[in-house]
Amino acid sequence: MNKLINKKSLGIVISLIFIAIIVHQVDIGKTIQAFGRMNPLFILPIIPIYLLSFVIRAYRWKTFLSGNNLKFMSLLSSIFIGFSLNCVLPARAGEIYRAYFFSKKENLNKTKVFTSVILERFFDGFVLFTILVAVIYLVQRSALFSNIAYLAGLIFLGGLGALMIIVKLQESGNKREKVKSFLIKIGSNRENAINKAFSVLNSFFDGLKTLDSYQILLKIVFLTFIVWLLEGSVVFLVIKSFGIDITYLGAFLVLTITAFSSLIPAGPAAIGPYQWGYIIALNAFTVQTELAFAVSIVNQLILILIILSAGLYFMWKDHITINEKVIEEELNWN
């Protein structure tokens, strides 16, 4: 419990720092006035578009797990529940809970499922990096955005490349068994720990097998582009609802910058860093900071309400009761 509280406290502090920086730069009165510019009719198409992105996410996750027999609704409910917890827990802890919940529900190996979630994040980062580079070249060149792209490329392209190298160079199962037998001989009193470690390692390698098929890789990249195309459409509609003149490609600059700024380990829903990323992206289109701040709040609030509504529905449907004690136990993979 203390670990969860400490993470939550640190995340909240980081969020408060970002919010304090933003509030110091804006006129709160002008920000409040900016909310009046929004046309609520734009929300109507946002809901089905955003929900559809989660349907694609579920189909993509099924591809990562290479499971034809996996129940689609189980995948979808697990994603919504995990994303719901991201709205109330720091550092995207809902992703870990999602992997645990789904593996338990479908009686799958926990490490393999968690590996698939890690791969999702790397592919998301790779696709967002690609989009950001294209948008910087076509729409808005900036040293700040270029630096963000360089850092994102280093993290996601480097990480994905490293994982693919691991898949190609991983030792055969027989060699791993020989290494395990040798370690057991020299540390017989640690046989259980060694067996457990190699079991986790084998499950991790099993989860990476997706990267060994170029056909599956292309399918995953395509599905990931569709996910972010839908999410970019949501951002575009929210911005346009405030009467801001921005192109469709311009909205993707906002999407990618907010997505990368949300990686900062802040409080629930990345409140603070999300607004900061939104503001610097819209500032590039000469949108006033107060207006950009208002748009960021509305955009995040809409997404949170949709996610929480769907997440609570699936929790009710699956008869799931979640409290901090349960989350703490499951995040420790007990």
Task: Assign 195 a pLDDT band (cuts: 50, 70, 90).
Answer: very low
pLDDT > 90 in the chain, percent: 49
Greater confidence, 69 or 63?
Answer: 63
Specify the pLDDT at position 160: 82
Question: What mean pLDDT is predicted for residues 214-240?
Answer: 95
Which is more confident, 2 or 240? 240
Report residue 182's pLDDT band, with 50, 70 and 90 as the boundaries. Answer: very low
**Confidence band of 207 (pLDDT split at 50, 70, 90):** low
Reported as a single tens digit per residue, the pLDDT across 69-103 is: 888 999 999 999 999 998 888 767 788 888 888 98
pLDDT in tens, 26-50: 999 999 999 999 999 998 999 999 9
Q: What is the DSSP string of 36-81?
A: TT--GGGHHHHHHHHHHHHHHHHHHHHHHTT-TTS-HHHHHHHHHH
Give the model's confidence band at 106: pLDDT under 50 very low, under 70 low, under 90 confident, else very high: confident
Band (105; pLDDT cuts 50, 70, 90): confident
Average pLDDT over residues 315-333: 66
Mean of the per-residue pLDDT values for the chain?
84
CB 42 within 8 A of CB 301: no
Question: What b/e sequence results for 282-315 when a residue is b if at least 16 CB atoms lie within 10 Å of its CB, and e otherwise?
Answer: bebbebbbbbbbbbbbbbbebbbebbbebbeebb
Residue 183 has pLDDT above 50, yes or no: no
Return the higher-pLDDT residue of 111 and 72. 72
The pLDDT score that the predictor gives to residue 264 is: 86
DSSP 8-state secondary structure symbol assigned to residue 190: G
Residue 64 has pLDDT above 60, yes or no: yes
- What per-residue confidence (pLDDT) applies to 186? 58
250-306 residue pLDDT tens: 999 999 999 999 988 888 888 999 999 999 999 999 999 999 999 999 999 999 999
pLDDT of residue 323: 60
CA–CA gap between residue 94 and residue 80 (Å, rounded):
10
Taking the domains of the chain in order of start, what are their residue ranges? 2-13+43-331
Going 173 to 175 to 176 to 180, the CA torsion angle's sign is positive
Q: Residue 123 pLDDT > 70, yes or no?
A: yes
pLDDT at residue 193 in the model: 52
**Per-residue confidence (pLDDT) for residue 326, from 0 to 100:** 53
The pLDDT value recorded for residue 331 is 53
Residue 229: what pLDDT? 97
Residue, of 177 and 246, whose pLDDT is higher: 246
Say what the pLDDT of residue 12 is. Answer: 84
